[in-house]
Amino acid sequence: MSRIGERLQRLIAASGPICVAHYMAEANAHYYATRDPFGAGGDFTTAPEISQMFGELIGLWLADLWDRAGRPLGARYVELGPGRGTLAADALRAILKAELEPPVELVETSPALRRAQAERLPQAAWHNDIAALPEDGPILAVANEFFDAVPARQLVATEAGWRERLVACEGGRFVPVAGNPIPSEAIPPALQGLRAGEILETSPAAGAIVRQLARRIIMHGGAALIVDYGHVRTGVGDTLQAVSAHDYADPWIEPGERDLTVHVDFEALAAAARDQGARVHGPVPQGQWLQAMGIDLRASALSRASPEQARAIAAARARLVAPDQMGELFKVMALTSPDWPEPAGFQ
Ligand SMILES: C[S@@+](CC[C@H](N)C(=O)[O-])C[C@H]1O[C@@H](n2cnc3c(N)ncnc32)[C@H](O)[C@@H]1O
């Protein structure tokens, strides 16, 4: 069993089963703190690691919006969970073309990834959470594949009503079990009375982060672009998954040694942002958004500049936009200040 697994086993033996969000938080904190999981030799590959086009188009989106908002002073580039810093480096190159060189504020808890980010972004400042950001200036914020790693609770429908899904340890193995009853008011009306065994996922932590982002945008202006895989409407289903060496793995073994994620509930995130007064755009499929932002033109320009790379560029473009690859499953949603103009890519 992994080191975190042994710790959780002792905790469960001492004080009983823990909730799924607790299990996910401990596992992911250890996982990200101890490695660089990206690329062919790692566990998974994210969009910015596939092609520079992804980060460049995000940078262009932010710069265009900032420009049409009247080029307000003091804007800060903010990224949640910046991985290796690749997206930020590509986005900032595009932003610089608009003659904006914003301070770079990275929200990252992993010491290993902070070191990787510092190599590409020596000018950056780091924060453990969004509440620690400097309090002035509009934000130009990005979160790619961040919210899927934020801990989520799972609620399970039983014959006796909804229950919190807990993680127990039986015979040295982690197993999900039905725990404390959940008051029926906590369940959306459309999902009351489902079949026993159905799972509803909810992430109070993700909602709290979006509320903070939205509050910040309302107070000082700005925009945030959220890209992740997930569903447009709140629904039922167990989406907790682990990925290891580019393959699906069992989320209930070796916590801390594999990435645990859930599909992002965009409807819940949108509601949290609107609740604070932010405007919400999308979500739209990633492929549609990248095409609206001009990925085809950018791919042609890059291929003309490096003809020997044309096949690789075409393959990367297809991976990002094709509906059977990342184009449909991944969604793009934006939050903006009500005083800022209509963002590109969502018409
Ligand atoms: C799947 S990676 C995405 C990386 C990057 N955005 C990309 O697209 O390549 C998740 C990132 O979020 C960070 N992270 C995970 N949980 C976090 C938390 N609670 N607070 C801050 N960063 C977190 C990880 O360390 C990592 O940088």
Q: pLDDT tens digits, residue range 326-338? A: 999 999 999 999 9
Closest listed residue to residue 24, CA positions, set 234, 145, 203, 181? 203
What are the C-alpha distances in Å from 267 to residues 40, 281, 333, 346? 33, 11, 10, 16
Question: 72, 29, 62: which is closest to 221 by C-alpha?
Answer: 72
Confidence of residue 294 (pLDDT cuts 50, 70, 90): very high
Q: Would you state the pLDDT for residue 41?
A: 85
* pLDDT per position as a tens digit, 148-183: 999 999 999 998 889 999 999 998 899 999 999 988
The H-or-E segment that residue 292 falls in is helix 286-292
Q: According to the model, what pLDDT value does residue 235 have? A: 87
The secondary structure of residue 288, as a DSSP letter, is H
Sheet strands side by side (includes 241-244): 247-249, 241-244, 259-261
Phi/psi for 306 (5° steps) reads -135, 80
CA–CA gap between residue 309 and residue 312 (Å, rounded): 5
Query: Average per-residue pLDDT in the chain?
Result: 95
Residue 335: the pLDDT is 98
Question: Peptide bond before 283: cis, by omega within 30 degrees of 0?
Answer: yes
Q: Is it the case that residue 94 has pLDDT exceeding 90?
A: yes
Residues at CB less than 6 angstroms from ligand 1: 28, 32, 46, 48-49, 81-83, 87, 107-110, 113, 144-146, 149
What is the CB neighbour count within 10 angstroms for residue 187?
18
Report the C-alpha gap between 87 and 79 in whole angstroms. Answer: 9
Mutate to test the pocket of ligand 1, among 107, 127, 144, 146 (most ligand atoms within 8 A of CB): 146
Residue 45 has pLDDT above 90, yes or no: yes
Per the CB < 8 A criterion, the answer to whether 46 and 73 are in contact is no
Percent of the chain with pLDDT over 90: 88
Segment 134-152 shows an average pLDDT of: 97
Substitution site in 24, 31, 32 for ligand 1 pocket (most atoms within 8 Å of beta carbon): 32
Judged against a pLDDT cut of 90, whether residue 2 lies above it is answered with no
Residue 39 — very low, low, confident or very high, per pLDDT cuts 50/70/90? Answer: confident
Q: If we measure between CA atoms, which residue out of 153, 147, 247, 246 comes closest to residue 206?
A: 147
* Sign of the Cα pseudo-torsion (117, 131, 217, 289, in order): positive
Rounded mean pLDDT, 288-314: 97
* Percentage of residues in the chain having pLDDT higher than 70: 100
Between 286 and 188, residue with greater pLDDT: 286
User: Tokens representing 189?
Assistant: 């009306």
pLDDT in tens, 213-259: 999 999 999 999 999 999 999 889 999 999 998 999 999 999 999 99
